Amino acid sequence: MKIKDKVDFIIASLDRLYPDAHCSLNYEQPYQLLIATRLSAQCTDERVNMVTPALFERYKTLEDFAAADFDELCSYIHSCGFFRGKAKSIIEMSGQLISDYNGRVPDTIEELVKLSGVGRKTANLICGDIYGKPSIIADTHCIRLSNRLGLVKNNNDPVAVEKQLKKIIPPQHQTKFCHNLVHHGRAVCIARKPECMNCALNSVCTFFEQTKKHGNKNTAN
């Protein structure tokens, strides 16, 4: 099967399975998505969504976050793990947005990664979900599934995966495709024990084909 046909099949199949897939972090303002994404590092989105209602109620504006007391902010985000580093970058990032961008979240990767604690994954999420730009969000699900499906070749480097997927995923599908991968990675293509026999993508999946040859359909990478 040609790579274009394979990609078209995967996109169509995932869209049927997850028609309403979107970012699982809850937010109302663009800067809140930045903060929620920072909290999600080494933490589940579910946990972050339990923390942010009280957090965003206490700190109602970007200025509130920029002026936050470090120890108090830590107490609000403690359960997200690595809370001291996260609190530091949230305060710094909020100050940068005010001083360098007049309180507006930037809309380019180049400007977003200048913010404290913001890497390419977060920057792509903001560009895709806030500004509607084509974006590849190379999180753990995206990397794992892209490798298993054979869309990238044995590559766990987020930047490399992002660049490879950019070449084969049509721009209009990129952001939704990544959200679909998250949903499929949680529901079916689980890290340690993928449900290959129940997967709608197994007919085009390199991992499934390889495990069939070895007689083990549920062995992860």
- Annotated active-site positions, please? 121, 139
Is-contact 149 3, C-beta < 8 A?
no
The pair of three-digit structure tokens given for residue 183, joined into one six-digit string? 């949903």
What 3-state DSSP class applies to 182?
helix
b or e along 173-201 (b: 16 or more beta carbons within 10 Å of the residue's beta carbon)?
bbbbbbbbbbbbbeebbeeeebebeebeb
Q: Is the dihedral of CA 129, 134, 138, 144 positive or negative?
A: positive
What is the Cα Rg of the chain in Å?
Answer: 19
